[in-house]
Amino acid sequence: MKPSDYEVLLNRHPKNPILTAADWPYPVHAVFNPGATTLKDGTTLLLCRVEDRRGISHLCAARSKNGVDGWEIDPEPTFVSDPHNYPDELWGIEDPRITYVYELEEYLIAYTAFGKAGPGVAIASTKDFKTFERFGLVMQADDKDAALFPRQFNGEFALIHRPSNDSGAHMWLSFSPDLHNWGGHVIMLPAHRGAWWDANKIGLSPPPIETDRGWLVMYHGVRHHASGSLYRVGLALFDKDNPEICLLRGQPWIFGPEAQYEVTGDVSHVVFPTGYTVGADGDTINIYYGAADTSICLATGSISQMLDWLDRNGTEGISTQEPVPIA
């Protein structure tokens, strides 16, 4: 390692991109930003965001024994918007994040519903990724980048989400006794200000990762510059029993667009992780991400190495700066 080399936490799979529009069993424009989970029989399931050739997104399941190749993709869209009954889904559904909730013994999917008011957060549940029950819109527009925790806190479900409002675009936490009624809204992690890679606009990446030391949270930061937006990924750790408490926040980003399939595409310079699976050793983590809003990629890391990196590269506390409105 040269002195100038930085520590690599996520290693890109040599077969990237592992899924593209060309793999689909029906005509689509792009596939990206997949939710991910491991089914009971060990199969990796990706619930992919699929943008059709009108620009409207739906979700489609792809299953693989090894999580890398041999994908079996549903022959038709798996979960589509229902604008007749849910007008908030008029222009499609996007960016699903899957959480297996132990108390319910089912999967909850938090996704972006795109309607006339803008993007909002909706929830659906499923046991088999074949039939789905909708809870409808739970966070009004403008809000996205949401996922549920797999456990309850003091008898309540908890949702991470990212409203954009006069106070900025920060990560928030909300709580609910029944998944329908939400309250107790608090800022979980504010965007930095100024020149930081995660200044002004941040959002959750995959759902929170449960570790012995607390909730490991990957989040994206959006740097706006003259030629567009640059999406990179950072790390933070939150208290196991009270996820409002940020224990450590990494200073540098850990993963950014570098490969050709990340720097060119429909939206260049975007890496956008939305799902993960954990290997049988309990430490290997497979991160599934959208590359340039065009394809689906895989990068692999180690949870213990990420925690160790946070010890060396993180600062304590929620933020060194107060959030301010975005100009």
**DSSP for 113-145, written as a single string:** EEETTEEEEEEEEESSSSS-EEEEEEE-SSEEE
* DSSP H helices in the chain: 260-263, 303-313
In the complex with ligand BMA, the residue whose CB is nearer, 113 or 270, is: 270
Q: Check residue 6 and report its DSSP letter.
A: P
**Per the omega criterion (within 30 degrees of 0), is the bond before 142 cis?**
yes
In the complex, minimum distance from the CB of residue 279 to ligand BMA, in angstroms, rounded to a whole number: 26
In the complex, minimum distance from the CB of residue 201 to ligand BMA, in angstroms, rounded to a whole number: 9
Say how far apart CA 74 and CA 216 lie, in whole Å: 32
In the complex, minimum distance from the CB of residue 105 to ligand BMA, in angstroms, rounded to a whole number: 29
In the complex, minimum distance from the CB of residue 33 to ligand BMA, in angstroms, rounded to a whole number: 5
In the complex with ligand BMA, the residue whose CB is nearer, 188 or 270, is: 270
In the complex with ligand BMA, the residue whose CB is nearer, 110 or 237, is: 110
Q: What is the contact surface with ligand BMA in residues (CB under 6 A)?
A: 33, 94-95, 231, 267, 270, 272, 290, 293
Position closest to ligand BMA via CB: 267
Say how far apart CA 78 and CA 66 lie, in whole Å: 21
Diameter over CA atoms, the chain: 59
Q: Which residues of 280-318 are buried (b: 16+ CB within 10 A; e: fewer)?
A: eeeeebbbbbbbbbbbbbbbbbbbeebbebbeebbeeeb
In the complex, minimum distance from the CB of residue 197 to ligand BMA, in angstroms, rounded to a whole number: 15
Say how far apart CA 63 and CA 70 lie, in whole Å: 8
In the complex with ligand BMA, the residue whose CB is nearer, 243 or 273, is: 273
Q: Residue 230's closest CA among 148, 282, 292?
A: 292
Q: How many helices (H) and strands (E) does the chain have?
A: 2, 23
In the complex with ligand BMA, the residue whose CB is nearer, 129 or 231, is: 231
Q: Which residues of 223-256 are buried (b: 16+ CB within 10 A; e: fewer)?
A: beeeeeebbbbbbbbbebeebeebbbbbbebbbb
Half-sphere exposure of 78 (CA within 13 A, CB side): 27
In the complex with ligand BMA, the residue whose CB is nearer, 68 or 267, is: 267
Reduced to 3 states (helix: H, G, I; strand: E, B; else coil), residue 105 is coil
